[in-house]
Amino acid sequence: MQRIAILMQRAVWLIAERGAILASMISKVILAVFSVVVVASPAFLREYAAPPSSAPSVAPEYTGDGQMKLPEHYREWVYLTTGFDMSYNPEGMQMGHHMFDNVFVNPEAYRAFVETGKWPDKTMFVLEGRRAEGRGSINQKGNYQGSDLMGIEVHVKDEARFPGKWAFFGFGDGKTAKMIPTTATCYSCHSEHAAVDTTFVQFYPTLLPIAKSKGTLAEGYLKEMAVPGQK
């Protein structure tokens, strides 16, 4: 029995020894593979990793006779702000009802502005007007936006196409619109009072601080804000 016990003990030792060797070999292989992955990971990621998801590039489109096509999916763009009954005329607008104005900008332009405080070529703003509703469903006070569009305006930067780089297009019920003539007051108003590159960034609460930090505010706007009583 003693001899059998000794033989069994030796067998156990041999198995344990071989197990330790095997475990050591496995550990070394794992460490080697891990080291290769760590060292090669930047190149590996560049070569094989899936590219980050991003929205498809959006550019202004025109018909053969120079009309602009309405960007149909503008509501999937970056939302900037909503104005309520805004008017640049001291006397205001006599419409007989209240209005909401929602502003959207294409994502590429937004990302560029966040980085530089400037609007790149092919920037597009869409302003949609919606009638303010008062009583409806359970609402008893205040206003909410109605579902019917009252009008759409696009402000687009296309340096190669327009002598002044920027142009306005007013859309009604159609999917295309003619350029608003440069003699219209909207051009001079934006040129004289806009905070950044003929755009009213002063009314975009998340972008005005960026323009200030990047030093891209227009001189005309800075002078205007320096007048006592202005903010």
Ordered by start, the domain boundaries in the chain are: 1-53, 68-226
Instruction: Select the CATH number that applies to the domain covering 68-226 from these four: 3.50.70.20, 3.40.1390.40, 3.40.50.261, 2.60.120.260.
Output: 3.50.70.20
State pLDDT tens for residues 196-223: 999 999 999 999 999 999 999 999 999 9
Q: What is the DSSP letter of 139?
A: B
Q: Is pLDDT of 55 > 70?
A: no
State pLDDT tens for residues 168-195: 999 988 999 999 999 999 999 999 999 9
What is the CB neighbour count within 10 angstroms for residue 155? 22
Q: Which of 157, 170, 28, 169 is nearest to 105 (CA)?
A: 157
Question: What pLDDT score was predicted for residue 23?
Answer: 46
Question: What pLDDT score was predicted for residue 87?
Answer: 85
Beta strands in 50-172 (DSSP E): 68-69, 78-84, 99-105, 124-133, 144-157, 166-171
131 φ, ψ (degrees, to nearest 5)? -65, 140
Q: What is the DSSP letter of 140?
A: -
pTM for the predicted model, two decimal places: 0.74
